[in-house]
Amino acid sequence: MLEFIPLIMFAVVCLVLLLGYPVAFSLAGTALIFAFGGMLFGVFDTALLGAMPSRIFGTMSNVTLIAVPLFVFMGVMLEKSRLAEELLENMASVFGKRRGGLAFSVVLVGMLLAASTGIVGATVVTMGLMSLPTMLKQRYDPALATDTICATGTLGQIIPPSIALVLLGDILSSAYQQAQLSQGIFNPKTVSVGDLFVGALIPGLLLVALYLLYLFVYTHWRHDAAPPIERGDGEASWRQILSGLLPPIVLIVVVLGSILVGAATPSEAAGVGALGATLLAFGKGQLDFSRLKEVARTSLTITSMVFLILLGAAIFSLVFRAYGGDELIHAIFEDMPGGRISALLVVMLVIFLLGFILDFIEITFVVVPIVAPILLVLGFDPIWLGIMIAVNLQTSFLTPPFGFALFYLRGVAPPEIATTTIYRGVVPFIAIQVLLLVLLTVWPELATWLPSKVYEQ
């Protein structure tokens, strides 16, 4: 019975989360209850909890994680200063007169906004408030309008630079070193957040291209689903369009490009992005003290949430490993028929299902450190594995009836739009993401080729 305590711990955490308790306190509280219970029965060594301060200090001194608050600040600044809204208006001026053009604009602007924040809820809500009323006013099919926004909002999982990839890259870096040390490799190779950024470029852009291709085909097949913007709406001069489009695009290119060419680490590039977003807002007259205060407060709230969950997950991981959780999971995978392919399928299925009740932060901090070392020992490439997990989570957040993106949009959509309408329209986008997972499985080079060329691995 004792060997199954780690699985019982995991089940209890899921139950507590379903009851509505905060994630960070659920993780830490459950772990401490099991630890103290183990002390009472003499099956848990109290000295193991003494490692907690060093873990917390390691988190505090982790330079990579400095990128988190900076990228959050950059995304929030673009959102709160109306730069994203202005970008959408100008993009609509370019594409809006074509059939489906407004949907194309939503995808492209959402891609940039998602890359800046990486927070699914923030992107879906922002794009829903900005673009959904306009799309409905222009007589767009409600199912197409709502689910274009939902699908675009989840792009923050895969489009670099994003918080999701920063956190996932940091965890995979530790897991990769742990996997190599367990194999007796005492001069281990490393994988960085920058590697994951580069590896995500081709899959991310491919996914956006597939979205746009689907919208093009669907809107030309169903002429009434996405009519052109009516004459007189969305008129703007090319000077206005370029002044709205170029600065945010240049900012994203500079941030990502500085990482790709090795001129800056992700943390340094995040600092450039935060400063650049602030200067853009100031230069366009959209920044005053009250708005700066609002941006700072929102950034602090989101960053505090991320790191509090990280600390809760660290406590959970410590107790989980103390009860032999790593060995148990490893033994389950070794005894599984079908070898490493079966192990990968089971992990992906578990992560997909957990995506219904956990956000990407919790899954990254709790699940990935447990399963990633085992999968890496089995020979999977760490960059490819990270991209697969990101796309898998993105698909989970979009899948009815529990997908987070659907719930977020339901909260800002007009009451006359039925929930079943949202569920119905999202199916093609789910199919596109599953197609991307299949393509990545068949051609892992989609994720690994560019890093090998950029970094000459």
Q: pLDDT tens across 354-379, in order? A: 877 677 777 888 788 888 888 888 88
Residue type (1 letter), 233 = D
DSSP state of 230: P
Cβ-contact 166, 67 below 8 angstroms = yes
Average of per-residue pLDDT across 26-44: 86
Give the per-residue pLDDT at 248: 75
Answer whether residue 48 shows pLDDT above 80. Answer: no
Position 233 confidence tier, pLDDT thresholds 50, 70, 90: very low
- 240, 269, 279 from 283: Cα distances, Å: 15, 21, 6
Tell me, what's the pLDDT at 234?
46
Average pLDDT, integer, range 178-204:
82
- Mean pLDDT value across residues 210-219: 90
- Give me the pLDDT at residue 121, please: 64
Whether the predicted pLDDT of 225 surpasses 70 = yes
pLDDT at 238: 67
Q: Name residues whose C-beta falls within 8 Å of residue 215's C-beta, 6 or more positions apart in sequence.
A: 100, 103, 104, 107, 148, 226
- Asked whether the whole model's pTM tops 0.85, one would answer no
Bin 338: left if φ > 0, else alpha if -120 < ψ < 50, else beta: left
* Statement: residue 231 has pLDDT above 60: no
The pLDDT tens digits for 394-408 are 888 888 776 777 777
Region 78-107: what's the mean pLDDT?
A: 75
Q: State the pLDDT confidence band at 455, using cuts at 50, 70 and 90.
A: low
**What would the DSSP string read from start to end of 76-139?**
HHHHHTTHHHHHHHHHHHHHTTSTTHHHHHHHHHHHHHHHHH--HHHHHHHHHHHHHHHHHHTT
The more confident residue out of 158 and 438 is 438
Using DSSP's 3-state secondary structure scheme, residue 229 falls into coil
Using the predicted structure, report yes or no on whether residue 203 has a pLDDT greater than 90: yes
Q: What is the CA radius of gyration of the chain?
A: 22
pLDDT of residue 432: 93
Residue 351: pLDDT band with limits 50, 70, 90: confident
Q: How far apart are CA 432 and CA 193, in angstroms?
A: 26
* Alpha-carbon gap, residue 396 to 392, rounded angstroms: 6
pLDDT digits (tens, 9 = 90+) for 384-441: 999 999 999 888 888 877 677 777 787 778 888 887 888 887 888 999 999 999 999 9
Q: Are 238 and 175 in contact (CB under 8 A)?
A: no
Smallest Cα–Cα separation from 27: which of 299, 35, 166? 35
What average pLDDT does the segment 314-322 reach? 83
pLDDT at site 16: 83
Provide the token pair at 89.
Answer: 């208006």
What integer is the mean pLDDT of 150-169? 82
> Which residue did the predictor score with more confidence, 275 or 338?
275
Domain positions in the chain: 62-454
